[in-house]
Amino acid sequence: MELPKNARVAIVDNKYNEVEDLMEALASEGVSAVYYKGPKKFPKVPLSGVRLLFLDLELDGLEGRPNKDKASTAARNFVTLISEGNGPVVIVLWTKHCDADIINQFNGYLKSVAKNPYFVVCMAKADCKDVSGNYSASRIKRNLSQKLADANVIGLHTTWENAVFRGSVKLSERIASIASTDEDWQSVISCVFFKLYKANSEQNVLGSLKEQFLSACSLYGNGLLNAINFELARSRLSVGKKFSLRQTKLAEDREAKLNGLLNAFLYYDKDRADPNVPGTVYAVRSGGADIKRGIAADFFMEKSAQKVIRSKVTKDVRLCKIVVTPSCDCAQKKEFRSGGGKKAKTYDRVVWALMVNRAMGAKYIERKYRKARCYLLEDFEYDGGMYDLLIDLDTLGFEVLDLKKQSRLFTLTSMVLADVQSKLANHLNRIGVVSV
């Protein structure tokens, strides 16, 4: 496993002299770590993004206590220090003696309380000392490499995160190098951010520094994906020789759930809080009966299914509006407007859709689905259910969105939104009949 290079290594040990060489070994690999003497020194807010955690099993007051006390305390310390949304983590039990019993007990306690995927190894402190009885940075480094050889999947995560870290650093270096060291560097780079902000917003004057910075970052981040991909290509995968990506045989319902969660990850962002950005999907609370009837006729084969779809809005069938206004229009305030002053109204480009629970079992019209007017996002998880989003491209129009009459469900990812916008453009620009 590749060691995390973004300072997300934590060490818990009541004796600093026993971790000093451990931190030196990590530092020799360019890895920094945060150190805590015990739970009383833990931060008020649990850590997130930690990929490697060293846990001492014999903190103050635990010397000579039964294994179950040491194991349960270590498990509690883990839950207290590491946030529930941390993600995968390797836990190294950093102790005087590696005891199979205490490892099993620790795993047992942790299984009942941990909210994150974890991989547990044990590293005896005695194995990290040289013949003179002193801690050896080289031995610590070698033992770590051996112990982490099987942390393959977490290794993939750290390889990705290290590439993101290096890619973002490279991007910052590239921007920073625009100014030479013999100039007033801060003034030049401030000017760079200003130019990026104005290029993105054009005539739209943003009042606050935060708004201007976010506008500049919209362009600043354009090169990030390329930088990350470059760093990934030059990364070495530190995984076992026999490790491979493979299809695991799962129960049918678990396979369906897994696909739904993966598609949700690819299709939308539920946590984004800013309202009315391009790609936002709203559930319409009332009205739109004619639209529902038209979308149902376009997508569904059976008359009975069409009737159910046209019935009142429920969690199984949601009538939706999707904002498809180009991002540049929003940034530059180029949306269509009517009126002036306080009576001015801003119109968004909107397309209508139905979000339908797959449990209804309704069949789509395959022939029409292949036509340009219908766009289908299939088989994704939302609030515990499995749904399809049926977008009817014929419904594109301009609208002043009253956010009080609709509730935000999620925001489509930029790739999905770009694909929908591309399909809309092709649909509007189709040639049609060119011969008799």
> Residues 18-41: pLDDT tens digits?
788 888 878 877 888 899 998 889
Rounded CA-CA distance 216/212 in Å is: 6
Longest dimension (CA), the chain: 94
Q: Is the pLDDT of residue 157 over 80?
A: yes
Mean pLDDT value across residues 184-199? 89
Q: Is the pLDDT of residue 267 over 80?
A: yes
- Burial of 340-364, coded b for 16+ CB within 10 Å and e otherwise, reads eeeeeeeebbbbbbbbbbbeeebeb
Between 342 and 284, where is the model more confident? Answer: 284
Q: Which of 306, 39, 277, 1 is nearest to 157 (CA)?
A: 1
Q: Which of 335, 332, 330, 326 is nearest to 200 (CA)?
A: 332
> What is the DSSP annotation of 78-136?
HHHHB-TT---EEEEEEESS--HHHHHHHHHHHHHH--S-EEEEEEEGGGGB-TTS-B-
Q: Are 266 and 203 in contact (CB under 8 A)?
A: no
Q: Are 406 and 276 in contact (CB under 8 A)?
A: no
Q: Are 331 and 197 in contact (CB under 8 A)?
A: no
Digit-coded pLDDT (tens) for 66-90 = 888 888 888 999 999 999 888 889 8
Q: Is the pLDDT of residue 314 over 60?
A: yes
**Cβ-defined contacts of 110-115 (< 8 Å, 24+):** 110/75, 110/78, 113/75, 113/76, 113/79, 114/75, 114/78, 114/79, 115/79, 115/84, 115/85
pLDDT of residue 121: 86
Band (pLDDT 50/70/90 cuts) for residue 312 is low
Digit-coded pLDDT (tens) for 114-126 = 888 888 888 888 8
Digit-coded pLDDT (tens) for 353-365 = 989 888 876 666 5
Between 67 and 107, where is the model more confident? Answer: 107
**Which amino acid does the sequence have at 83?**
S
CA 423 to chain centre: 26
pLDDT of residue 361: 66
Q: Is the pLDDT of residue 382 over 90?
A: yes
Enter the DSSP assignment of 36. E
- Burial of 81-92, coded b for 16+ CB within 10 Å and e otherwise, reads bbbeebbbbbbb
Show Cβ contacts of residue 247 under 8 Å, excluding neighbours closer than 6 positions: none
Share of the chain above pLDDT 90, in %: 18
Q: What share of the chain is helix, strand, coil (3-state, %, to 5)?
A: 45, 20, 35
Backbone φ, ψ for residue 193 (5° rounding): -65, -40
Please tell me which of 74-83, 217-226, 287-296, 356-365 the model is most confident about, judged by mean pLDDT: 74-83
Residue spans of the domains in the chain: they are 9-150, 159-233, 254-428
* pTM assigned to the model: 0.78
pLDDT of residue 411: 92
Q: Is the pLDDT of residue 319 over 70?
A: yes
Strands 406-412 and 280-284 come out as antiparallel
Please tell me which of 202-206, 242-246, 350-354 the model is most confident about, judged by mean pLDDT: 350-354
SS3 219: helix
Q: Are 125 and 11 in contact (CB under 8 A)?
A: no
CATH hierarchy code of domain 9-150: 3.40.50.2300
Show Cβ contacts of residue 340 under 8 Å, excluding neighbours closer than 6 positions: none
